A and B are shown apart, each in its own frame.
Chain A
Amino acid sequence: MAENVEKLVSRLDESQLVERLKKGDESAFRTIVETRKDLVFNTALGLLQNAEDAEDITQEVFIKVYESVHQFKGESAFSTWLYKIAVTKSLELIRSRKRKKRFAFITGILGDNNELRHDPPEFHHPGVQFDNRERSTILFKAIAKLPENQRVAFTLHKVEGIPYLEISEIMQVSISAVESLIHRAKTNLRKDLENYYQKNK
């Protein structure tokens, strides 16, 4: 009960902030950024597995919020809208990286280009408990191989701890579709990890 009241109050605060932002109130924008920057950053970091890229995307998300806040109708929670933008922007970057990787042979001919990372280094999430550091790196490597939808659903659930209902709103699919995506993601990850441990026993 108390939790529901808390949610309602935060939703009211949120709508007031959004209304103020729509009127161009800069302090409202600052409050939104300061209170939600880690939510966006952690989501982008889970998907992109690179801190610099995640910070870049976090900035882009808030620029988008500032520019198109009038499009937010309040039908879903403001955080859901933020997650949606963060996922879209992160996927755009992943797709663009994949395209660049396909054209890596051209950049190879043209010489070293520091902008492109065709083989990203191992990723260590800063929030992982120390004992799990090495294992989580192996898991993140396997997550990066998942199909896009499975990767998004699994990451949102595991890294941000978002419930299935909200993931369904973010991804605009049904709850059963989210359940199915996460189940398939887990099956694929287990297969990949089994192969990994068989090769590296």
Chain B
Amino acid sequence: MKHHDDIQRQVDLTMNSLDGLSRAETTPFFYTRLTARMESGYESFWAKGLAFLARPAVALSILFVFLLINGYLIFSGLGQQEETIQQDYVAQQISYFDNNTPTP
């Protein structure tokens, strides 16, 4: 019981530890640094764009879409290639029979 009361006392003291807190102040020459940042165009269009692209979710989404398109192109290309091979084979067969058909 005494132990429990002691813990509650510690908790109360910690909960009240921000009482009488005074406002934190920025470091000197804040305005000078702010204007320097504004003039240097820190948050330029390209910087914002790159920061957006560097987000893990965005980067992974782009990678996923890229892989999806890549996969689609590979597989659709394979189908066409097979078709072309078949067509070539048939064409060769026809030309073979054309060439070897005895003339009456």
Contacts and interface: CB of A to CB of B under 8 A. Distances in A.
Contacts of B43: 60, 63
Interface string A43-84: 001000001001100111011001000000000000000000
A125 B23 CA distance: 9
B101 interface: no
Interface residues of A, number: 46
Contacts of A30: 31
Contact of A197 (B11, B31, B57): B11
29 contacts: A33-B31, A34-B31, A37-B30, A38-B25, A38-B26, A39-B23, A42-B23, A55-B26, A58-B26, A59-B30, A59-B34, A62-B34, A63-B37, A106-B56, A125-B18, A125-B21, A126-B25, A127-B22, A127-B24, A132-B19, A135-B17, A136-B17, A136-B21, A159-B18, A193-B10, A194-B7, A197-B7, A197-B11, A201-B7
A186 B15 contact: yes
A158 interface: yes
Interface of B: 3, 6-8, 10-11, 13-15, 17-27, 30-31, 33-34, 37-38, 43, 55-57
A87 to B, nearest CB: 16
Contacts of B3: 201
Nearest to B18: A158
Main secondary structure of the interface of B (DSSP, over half): helix
A128 B19 CA distance: 8
Given A99-B56, A159-B18, 16 more contacts: A33-B34, A38-B23, A39-B23, A41-B24, A41-B26, A58-B26, A59-B33, A96-B55, A102-B56, A103-B56, A127-B23, A129-B20, A136-B21, A161-B21, A190-B15, A197-B11
